[in-house]
Amino acid sequence: MDEQQAGVGRRVARARRRASFTQDQFAGLMGRSASWVSKVERGDLPLDRASVLAKIAEVLSVEVVELTGQPYRHETSELDSGHAAVPALRLALQHASLPTLGAGADRPPRSLADLRAVVERCEQHRQAAQFTAVGDLLPDLVEDLLVASRTSDGVERDEVDELTLRACHIARVTSNLLGHHDLAWLAVQLQLAAAQRGGSPALLAAAAWDLCGVWLHAGAIADAKAVATSAIDELDSAAGGDDETLLALYGAMHLRAAVAYSRLWSTPDARTHLEAAREVAARVTLPNVFQTMFGAVNVGIHATEVELELGHPADVLREAAAVDPSRIESGERQAHYWVVRAVGYGMNRRDEDALKALTVADNIAAQHVRNRPMARELVRDLLDRERVQRAPLRSMAAKMGVA
């Protein structure tokens, strides 16, 4: 079997053998039965929860990406989902992280207005999960912002720092979703540096929000929880104020905490943070603070994901039914909702509904869906169960490169 087509179970088995664990020993460390391990490794039991993957990675001393097989590359440029831009993005982030003497010296500076316009276009592509379009703009944008940071000061430098943070957020999200997690770390380091230079509470909170995101993708759940709860404490005074930017970031950090606690399987804590986020969302009118898309709809999407991570199949569908994803202006968020709902249907053995939901997600943001490990594992599981129409399922599997 081609390595890209290999499922998570096969990778778990390989990592377990390398760690010199028997199935019984591994089961004991996971708090599971040997039968569970056997089913996982055979591919009979899909690993559709990030929390379980993170636990396996911890026990076997591997990175999560070794189990998921990211990044996923395809044979055609049409399906390659922005990976072709990664080498240029890597070089741009390295230049910005470790400035090389003379790097960018022959690059003409761009006006702040031009830089701001490109950042806004990139943000639109990022929310639509159009990674190829992001890749066409982002490497040059990072290089241009590096030049601007060297030639600006005062108020102008403050704006360059904000634009740098926003651009590096796009780089972080794109890198994480495509599976290039080393680049996500570079991007977050640049965000933190930009936020600390300016010292603005909003920039610091936005950088912390992204730091949580990169920890979650890395499977370092305790670290993500610690950053989220610390940021919540820092922003607590904002909860009683009228600064909607800080208030939205405060609510967004509660959502990060809710996801972290759900991946630690702490139901009361996860739901407490969700409720806190709901209360904040009722007071926020700004539509998209620092690309968090914080608001009532995104709280509902997170609630659906939280129940998935907690392993509550019926509650996944209950929460999903209460959300109207069309009310959030983000193709990425809408696609994420439909992927989680599809996995929820799969957990409830509603295979036809699972395929339909996954197809909706793919129609909204294909480059997002085809790079999601949980979506790919769902397709593999549906193929194994053979309870849905074969032609549409085979078509979806071919698009993902798992046929």
49: left (phi > 0), else alpha (psi -120 to 50), else beta?
beta
Residue 79, pLDDT score: 64
Residue after which a domain boundary falls, among 199, 230, 248: 199
Same domain, 92 and 192: yes
Residue after which a domain boundary falls, among 174, 199, 224: 199
Q: Can you tell me the distance from the alpha carbon of 51 to that of 180, in angstroms, rounded to the nearest whole number?
A: 20
Does 294 map to a domain?
yes
Same domain, 84 and 64: no
**pLDDT digits 0-9 by tens, 24-44:** 999 999 999 999 999 899 888
What is the separation, in whole angstroms, between the first and last Cα of the chain?
11
Same domain, 20 and 119: no
Residues 225 and 261 sit within 8 Å (Cβ to Cβ) = yes
Does 354 map to a domain?
yes
Residue 184, pLDDT score: 95
**Phi and psi dihedrals of 162, rounded to 5?**
-65, -45
Q: How many domains does the chain have?
A: 4
Same domain, 114 and 141: yes
Residue 83, pLDDT score: 85
Same domain, 182 and 215: no
**Phi and psi dihedrals of 169, rounded to 5?**
-60, -45
pLDDT bracket for residue 148 (50, 70, 90): very high
Contacts of 101 (CB under 8 A, 6+ apart): none
How many of the other CB atoms lie within 10 Å of CB of 277? 26
Same domain, 218 and 104: no
Lowest mean pLDDT among 73-82, 117-126, 170-179: 73-82
Lowest mean pLDDT among 222-226, 240-244, 344-348: 240-244
pLDDT bracket for residue 195 (50, 70, 90): very high
Does 369 map to a domain?
yes
Same domain, 350 and 395: yes
In 199-293, which ranges are continuous DSSP H helix? 201-218, 221-235, 244-263, 267-281
CA angle 57, 220, 193 (to 5 degrees): 140
Residue 2, pLDDT score: 46
Contacts of 32 (CB under 8 A, 6+ apart): none
Does 38 map to a domain?
yes
Same domain, 39 and 126: no
Same domain, 174 and 207: no
Is 255's pLDDT higher than 80?
yes
Residues 198 and 214 sit within 8 Å (Cβ to Cβ) = no
Same domain, 178 and 210: no
Same domain, 86 and 170: yes
Q: Can you tell me the distance from the alpha carbon of 320 to that of 26, in angstroms, rounded to the nearest whole number?
A: 34
CA 222 from centroid of its chain's CA atoms:
17
Does 319 map to a domain?
no
Same domain, 210 and 286: yes
Residue after which a domain boundary falls, among 15, 41, 74: 74
CATH label of the domain that carries residue 4: 1.10.260.40
**pLDDT digits 0-9 by tens, 356-393:** 999 999 999 999 998 899 999 899 889 887 766 688 88
Does 262 map to a domain?
yes
Q: State which residues form the domain around 371.
A: 324-403
pLDDT bracket for residue 3 (50, 70, 90): very low
pLDDT bracket for residue 225 (50, 70, 90): very high
